[in-house]
Amino acid sequence: MGHERVGGPSSVVRRLREASSQVPIVTVVDDTSTLAETLIAGATDAVLRPVCHEELLARLFGRIPPTRVLDAPRLHGLLRRAELAVLEYIVVNAPRVVSVQEILTNVLRSSGDGGSVRNHVWEIRRKLSAAGIPAPLRTVRGVGYCAVQSQRDGEAVLGEDLTKI
């Protein structure tokens, strides 16, 4: 590895890491030497230039705890309170499949055949898609819903590729 530049990414990461060990630090670097130095300095992750925005989003989304991601003001402006609660419950319980009945009982605090849950999930997908935000939800027929973890056959993927549902 080369020598660390004064004021370079590694020194910035080191100072940030000294200030907080809890905050995810994802940085963009120009070469593999700087990438390695940055990771050794305490970065959570690093991306090489030129930046692939989908990769950067995926890396960020994979490093930030789900509740922090769902607290984004943009989601609060798009989704109704019940929709946000359903989405958060599914993502926080990932990778476990959450049953419709569990969502009815624990999130919506109601009973029924699950039609309201299916409607909320449909609305979440529709609203996020219209805003250009991939919905990291997968339907498990006859069981419930889960937050997905990897790109397979064009399915939205939490943590790897957030380009489409």
Q: What are phi and psi of 93, to 5 degrees?
A: -90, 5
Q: Are 82 and 119 in contact (CB under 8 A)?
A: no
Mean pLDDT of 76-80: 80
More confident residue, 111 or 159: 111
What is the pLDDT at residue 157?
Answer: 37
Mean pLDDT of 146-152: 61
Q: pLDDT tens digit string along 21-77?
A: 667 777 888 888 888 888 888 887 787 888 777 677 666 666 655 544 454 566 777
Q: pLDDT tens digit string along 104-132?
A: 998 898 888 889 999 999 999 998 888 87
CB neighbour list of residue 109: distance below 8 Å, 6 or more residues apart:
none
Tokens of residue 82, six digits: 């019940």
Length of the chain counted residue by residue: 165
Bridge partners (DSSP) listed for residue 140: 144
What is the pLDDT at residue 12?
Answer: 85
pLDDT value at 165 more than 50:
no
d(CA 35, CA 38): 5
SS3 content of the chain, % helix, strand, coil (to 5): 50, 10, 40
Q: What are the extents of the domains in the chain?
A: 9-51, 66-147
pLDDT value at 153 more than 50:
no
More confident residue, 35 or 163: 35
Highest CATH level, class, for 66-147: mainly alpha
d(CA 150, CA 134): 13
Three-state secondary structure readout of 109-146: CCCCCCHHHHHHHHHHHHHHHHCCCCCCEEEECCCEEE
Q: Are 20 and 43 in contact (CB under 8 A)?
A: no
Residue 164 vs residues 15, 91, 142: alpha-carbon distances, Å:
36, 17, 24
pTM of the model: 0.51
